[in-house]
A = this chain, B = another copy of it.
Amino acid sequence: MSKGEATRERIIDRAFLIAGRDGLEGLTIGALATELKLSKSGLFSHFGSKEELQVAVLDVASSRFTERVMLPAFKAPRGLPRLERIFEGWIDWMTDSKMPGGCIFQQANAELDDRQGRPHDVLLESQKNLVEALTKTVQLAITEGHFAKNADARQIAYEFEGIMMVMNLYLRLLKDRKAVDRARMAFKRLVQSNAA
């Protein structure tokens, strides 16, 4: 790996954390450069525009989510066990103390949802992929007989994501100790009421 690539990764790594706390807009090149002991222009030249920096952050965010939440779950047997692994992995992701700013997707969703441009498109793409991956996992749980044959995979994926989102709210803003427990209860109910 060349020096330039290494620096670029170091930049994105830090930018990822800041964006989780302050959002993709609150992430500024000057502040980022100061934290990394780089010059503004030196940092800037790695991306060419702030938008490209934001895109790079979103890209690394989704690949990290995939590798830390989705991929490990594929080691579990398909169907419900795999869905449970995604659920627990997602909890770990959201409570990760190395991500003090919280889940970057929650930030980005709120920030980019009704905007346009590359960052929006990249986020939308990754969220669509996530929904599809979740839906497929649920669909497998149906064909495996863990869920009722007439269960609605997309609906279950939808409600699943709702649980993760409200968990984040209770964790971050309300600082509720029971945030995770309640998420587990909600998940259990989701599974049970769709059981075969």
Stretch in A44-52, A88-96, A153-161 with 4+ CB within 8 Å of B: A153-161
Q: Give chain B residues whose Cβ lies under 8 Å from the Cβ of A170.
A: 158
Instruction: Tell me whether A133 is interfacial, beta carbon within 8 Å.
Output: no
- With A25-B23, A25-B26, A155-B185 as contacts: A113 and B163 at CB distance below 8 Å: no
Which residues in chain A, 138-185, are within 8 Å of chain B measured between CB atoms?
152, 154-155, 158-159, 161-163, 165-167, 169-170, 172-174, 182, 185
Cα of A163 to Cα of B182 in the assembled complex, Å? 14
Asked if residues A174 and B131 are in contact (CB atoms below 8 Å), the reply is yes
Contact B23 A111 (CB under 8 A): yes
Task: For A158, give the chain B residue with the smallest CB separation.
Answer: B182
Interface residues of A (CB under 8 A from B): 21, 23, 25-26, 100-102, 106-107, 109-114, 123-124, 127-128, 131, 152, 154-155, 158-159, 161-163, 165-167, 169-170, 172-174, 182, 185-186, 189, 192-193
26 residue pairs of the A-B complex, CB under 8 angstroms, read A23-B23, A23-B111, A25-B25, A100-B114, A107-B111, A109-B110, A109-B169, A109-B173, A110-B111, A112-B173, A113-B169, A113-B172, A114-B172, A124-B173, A127-B173, A155-B185, A158-B166, A158-B170, A158-B182, A159-B162, A159-B163, A159-B166, A159-B189, A162-B186, A165-B169, A192-B193
